[in-house]
Structures are given as C-alpha cells and as structure tokens.
Chain A
Amino acid sequence: MLSKKEKEVIAYFSVNDVGLSSHPFIKPAKTLDLTEVALIDILTNLQKKGIIKNFSGVIDHKKTGYKANALIAWNINLASGSTKINKIIDIFMGDNRISHFYQRAPNIHFNYNIYTMMHAKTKKEIKDFAEKVASECNLNYEILFTEKELKKEKLRLGEMLC
C-alpha cells in the first residue's frame, strides 16, 4: 500500500515536470512539505517498487526527423512452444524505432492481439518493415498511420488515486 505522502509525491510529479537547475528538487520538496533528502528517499523507494518507470527526457520525434508514425496491429499466435513468437519478440524488442509493444485482448471488430508503435523517417520505411516481418513470420497485420495528434497529456494521477 502507498502512504499518504507517497500518493502526494506521485500526484505532484504526474502533473509537474522536473525543473532545470542544479537542485531541481528544492521547489517540489517545499511544496510537498518535505526536506530535499526525504523527497529523494520517497522517489528512490517508488523506483525500487517499480512504480516510477523512469526519470528521463522525452524528445519530440517529429522535430527530430521521425515524421512517419504508425500503430501497427498484428495477429500473432502466442501459443507457447511456438518458435516464431520468440523471433518476433526479438525483432520488436531490438528495434529502436518501436517504442510501444503491447498485447491486447482482440475484438471481433478489430481482430488483432499485438500492437506496436513505430517511428520512422518515412512511411515507406514503416511499410517495408511490416512487410518484411509479416512475410518472414507469416502474419496478418494492418498499418494505421498517425494523421494528427489531437491530445497528448500526462495522466493526472492525483484524481485517480484518491
């Protein structure tokens, strides 16, 4: 279970970024009524528990030249003992252009169980990648190119955890 203070820390950092200064935790510690050291202890603990996934920088992929973005939906037989599945996992895990790789419950109206987000310089690069993986592993897939980003926000965890 999370303590009240841990919840407050999670809620705070779910909406606030970390500032650019030599001591960026002074201000959040003050707001949270903690010392800098106590805040670092809580954050370190949350990271150990796997609740903090990462403390990192998020780059703008469009600005850095990744203009083609797509969700690729795949239909993959996940039955254990299948050698194919290990090969596919290796491909997706090892490719830097794949940022998200999720298994989802398929739906009769959209019958795919594996979803990957891919970021590349051109649409052709994505098409070629999908085509190659699909033919090597004999898979059905569909590419859903991103046409427009309408919303990209952080989840306000304070409202969810109470």
Chain B
Amino acid sequence: MDKKNKQILAGLQKGLPITIQPFQQFSDDLGLPEKEVITRIDWLRKKAFLRRIGFSFNTHKLGLVSTLVACKIPKNNINHAQKVIMGCANITHNYLRKHRLNMWFTFTASSPKKLKNGLIKLKKDLKTDEMVSLPTEKILKLRFALNVE
C-alpha cells in the first residue's frame, strides 16, 4: 500500500463531511484530485482493505437498549446456535471467544421489556444452559481509527 492510500484510509476513518459532494471536500483536504481519490477508494474496497463507507447511529439516542451476551455453547451445538443468531435481527455481532463462555454477541431492542423477553426466548432457542447478560451502562469510547502501515 502506498503513502496516498494510507492517507486516504486514515482520512476515511476520521470521517467525511456531510455535504452534497463529500468526496470533493475530502479530496481537497488531502490535496488530491477527486477523481484520483475515488479511483483509489474503489481499489481499497475491491481489495477489501475498506469494508464500507456509510453512516453509523447512536442507538442510545434513538431510545434503544443493548447488552453484551455471553453463552456457553457446546461444540456440537455451534452450527445450530449460529443459525438461530443469523436469523435474529436484534443481534448484529457474534464472535467465538476462547473462554468457558465461548459465544459472545450484542443484543439490541427498542425497550427494556423487549430486551428481557427477547433474551428469555433466545436462551430457549439456543438450547444453552448458561447465558450471561451484561447490559451497557455507559459508552466511554467508540472510535475506529487504526494506524495503517
């Protein structure tokens, strides 16, 4: 990856201006022609260095509630659990982690009551005997600007 692409990735992580021509202003700030920047971003996306460009929302400001859930899922039940989770719109992230509680996912709902009931149903569907919910109390940092070398 060349210097310009690194600059572009760093800039994209920091953010784009909300204007009619966001890439124009972004390119001006970098001192590069817009056409070149768009071609380079397209390459970065095709090569999968860049996952996406878009908006992200503060779900708490929208009145939604969320929790981090940890479950113990035996190896022979992981495929079943994964199917359940893929079909659940409240869950956006799911990871296997090296721990007794091996499956970790986030669960978001539009009210505390819906969250509680959703988790009760999910525990049954996942066929897990151990589920721990760790509700979000405060988001102290949510940022993603890694150094690209």
A binding-site residues for B, Cβ under 8 Å: 2, 10, 13-14, 16-18, 20-25, 36-37, 40, 43-44, 47, 49-61, 63-66, 71, 89, 92-93, 96-107, 109-110, 115, 119, 142, 144-157, 159-161
Contact = CB atoms under 8 A, between A and B. Distances in A.
Interface string B87-102: 0010111111111011
B50 interface: yes
B68 to A, nearest CB: 6
A145 B92 contact: no
A102 B138 contact: yes
Contacts of B38: 20-22
B57 A55 contact: no
B115 to A, nearest CB: 11
A57 B55 contact: no
If over half of B's interface residues share one DSSP class (helix, strand or loop), that class is named, otherwise mixed; here it is: mixed
Contacts of B101: 110
Given A23-B20, A71-B97, A147-B96, A51 B54 contact: no
Given A56-B12, A60-B51, A151 B105 contact: yes
Given A147-B96, A151-B93, A17 B53 contact: yes
A154 B109 CA distance: 14
Contact of A22 (B21, B53, B54, B95): B21
B19 interface: yes
B51 A59 contact: yes
Contact of B92 (A142, A153, A159, A161): A153
B62 A110 contact: no
B57 A10 contact: yes
B54 A13 contact: yes
